[in-house]
Amino acid sequence: MSDSHAGAHPDVDELSTELGSRLVRDPELIEPYALDTSRAVSEGAPLAVVLAESTADVSAALAWANRNRVRVSVRGAGTGLAGGAMAYAGGIVISLERMRAVIDVDVPNRLARVQPGVVTADLDAAARLHGLFFPPDPASARISTVGGNIATNAGGLRCVAHGVTSDSVAALEVVLADGRVMRTGARTRKNVVGYDLTRLFVGSEGTLGVITEATVRLKPVPPGTPRTFRAGFAELEDAGRAVTAIVNSAVRPEVLELMDALSVEIIESFHPSGMTVPAGAMLVGQTVGWDAQTQAEAITAMCRDLGADDTEISETDALLEARRLSNPALNARGLKISCDVGVPVAALAEVFHGIAEISARHGKRVSTVAHAGDGNLHSTVESPDTPAGIREADAVIDDITRLALALGGTISGEHGIGSVKRHELGWQLDPVAIDVQLAIKSALDPLGTLTPGRAV
Ligand SMILES: Cc1cc2nc3c(=O)[nH]c(=O)nc-3n(C[C@H](O)[C@H](O)[C@H](O)COP(=O)(O)OP(=O)(O)OC[C@H]3O[C@@H](n4cnc5c(N)ncnc54)[C@H](O)[C@@H]3O)c2cc1C
């Protein structure tokens, strides 16, 4: 794979003639497209932003960039936390924000065909008009796009019941790095034709192709009124043990999240919702269906058996809303250095024990929120916003990441690798696996046009 890029004087006018006002070159207007929500540092301004309105626009932009050896970054809403959508200096950004139509909802087959720039919560709302819903539910659902969710294989609050984004994707339309358009998957429940290219593009973080349309799976909205439950624990590790017990029991919570005491205190002071700060941790979750109350009672009883000293069941969503605010709340308190690791769910108590040890060893406070039912943790280190402070916080995060791996876990549960985690790739993947990943990248994008140097 070549990484040579002309950079110097590509003929942008040629692309401008093709795209007209959909190609933006005004430095002030393109500035907001340089960064995403990660802490990756900008390498400089892009040449231009393509505000694509069709597959043809994306194809034209990629064909031009590939011919002229111009690096391309791909952008949904820019809420990514791994630096995958960051612009390249002298590159172009392909933004999908204008391609935001829900093309159709196929009720009998429980499918929706959407453009990639549709906001996740808008797709969910469109499905709910038909008694259906879109299962993936990242905490960013109101600000992120379905294309971005697919490209990162996003997780979220309802994954414990419905799986991650890949479990809800049936088919894709993708534009390859050289501008060719292809389709993957099928509208059927079963489809065993060739390699599973749909799964290959899901989670590929803009490195293999630009998703220009997706056919996604919907589910029927469960009947009855959901119940939200919470359980406060004096010991964080007991909360971990309770999660393991719940996911291995016959009850099926729709949501099972954990916030440690520091996170609850920070979220509550950011947006008071009457949460009592526990000494150790709080589990919050939701049950659905006609037996939602019975299931919530079974879960809170299990929690009390395993050490919870304060439980509650309610019909409001307030606690889950609070959990969704963890990112902005932590950021407002200056907690920005965080990780996204996963462990097998039975290792939760052990990972919490280890994080406490790491926190004590480094003398740094660490807050942890978790999509606990999936064993997916986001630990954030309190640190001053100085180069030394960030280095020290990074050392804590490195130790937590290595701990997760030692427990059979992963360096990313849902945010992806992007640019900020690329140095960790070799911690998890063996050299042969990395070779295979690079071979796939090279086969689809031999000139290294599309999101080069990231994700793999
Ligand atoms: C407050 C907050 C809460 C969050 N909660 C969660 C959570 O619960 N779960 C979770 O998984 N993540 C979460 N995130 C991270 C982020 O929202 C997700 O990664 C999301 O999927 C990114 O969507 P986006 O549209 O913003 O994509 P972007 O940030 O624009 O892009 C993300 C990656 O996808 C690629 N990409 C985007 N669109 C396309 C496309 N059409 N074709 C090909 N590649 C594309 C980009 O190149 C980039 O590599 C959260 C972020 C914030 C700020």
3-class DSSP assignment, residue 69: coil
Give Cα 396 to chain centroid, integer Å.
Answer: 22
Q: Is the CB of 76 under 6 A from ligand 1?
A: yes
| Residue 451 CB–ligand 1 contact under 6 Å | yes
Could you report the per-residue pLDDT of 80-90, keeping only the tens digit for each? Answer: 999 999 999 99
Give the whole-angstrom CA distance, residue 192 versus residue 212: 23
Q: Which atom of ligand 1 is nearest to the CA of 327?
A: 1
Class of domain 227-406: alpha beta
Nearest CA to ligand 1 atom 52: 140
Domain boundaries, the chain: 102-220, 227-406
Among 81, 114, 321, residue to substitute to test ligand 1 (most atoms within 8 Å of Cβ): 81
**Whole-number pLDDT of residue 213:** 98
Q: Is 419 in the pocket of ligand 1 (CB under 6 A)?
A: no
Which of 10-14, 106-110, 422-426 shows the lowest mean pLDDT across its residues?
10-14
> How far is the centre of ligand 1, averaged over its atoms, from the C-alpha of 146 (Å)?
8
Instruction: Read off the pLDDT of each residue in 280-306 and give the average, rounded to a whole number.
Output: 97
Output the DSSP codes for 98-125.
T---EEEEETTTTEEEE-TTSBHHHHHH
CB of 79 within 6 A of ligand 1: the answer is yes
Q: Considering only CA atoms, which residue is closest to atom 11 of ligand 1?
A: 154
| Over residues 415-423, mean pLDDT | 95
**Is the model's pLDDT at 48 over the cut of 80?**
yes
Q: What is the largest CA-CA distance in the chain?
A: 69
Q: Give the 3-state secondary structure percentages of the chain, helix then strand then coil, rounded to 5.
A: 40, 20, 40
Residue 40's nearest CA partner among 80, 72, 93, 71 is 80
Report the mean per-residue pLDDT for the chain.
Answer: 94
Report the pLDDT value the prediction gives residue 7, as an integer from 0 to 100.
45
Q: What is the pLDDT of residues 200-235, one digit of tens each?
A: 999 999 999 999 999 999 999 999 999 999 999 999
Q: What is the sign, positive or negative, of the torsion defined by CA atoms of 154, 155, 157, 160?
A: positive
pLDDT value, residue 125 = 98
How far away, in angstroms, is 147 Cα from ligand 1 center? 8
Q: Is the CB of 85 under 6 A from ligand 1?
A: yes
DSSP 361: H
Residue 269 in tokens:
């002071």
Atom of ligand 1 nearest to the CA of 418: 49
Q: Atom 50 (ligand 1): residue with closest C-alpha? A: 140
Q: What is the pLDDT of residues 13-41, one digit of tens each?
A: 999 999 999 999 999 999 999 999 998 99
Q: Taking the CB of residue 436, how many other CB atoms lie within 10 A of it? A: 13
Q: Which of 51, 100, 140, 324 to mutate to test the pocket of ligand 1 (most atoms within 8 A of CB)?
A: 140
How much of the chain exceeds pLDDT 90, in percent? Answer: 88
Mutate to test the pocket of ligand 1, among 37, 39, 49, 75 (most ligand atoms within 8 A of CB): 75
pLDDT at 8 over 80: no
Closest residue by Cα to atom 18, ligand 1, is 80
pLDDT of residue 10: 79
Lowest mean pLDDT among 5-9, 74-78, 171-175, 420-424: 5-9
Give the pLDDT confidence score for residue 9 in this predicted structure: 60
Q: How high is the pLDDT of residue 384?
A: 83
Is 73:91 a contact under the CB 8 Å cutoff?
yes
pLDDT tens column, 128-167: 999 999 999 999 999 999 999 999 999 989 999 999 999 9
Phi, psi of 309 (to 5 degrees): -110, 0
Which CATH code, of 3.10.20.520, 3.40.50.10860, 2.60.40.10, 3.30.465.10, is assigned to 102-220? 3.30.465.10
Residue with token string 């890029």: 5
Beta bridge partners of 281: 233, 260
User: Dihedral of the CA atoms 160, 164, 169, 172 (nearest 10)?
Assistant: 170
Going by alpha carbons, the residue nearest to atom 46 of ligand 1 is 85
pLDDT of residue 2: 44
pLDDT at 320: 87
* pTM recorded for the entire structure: 0.95
Confidence band for 274, pLDDT divided at 50, 70 and 90: confident
Q: Is 75 in the pocket of ligand 1 (CB under 6 A)?
A: yes
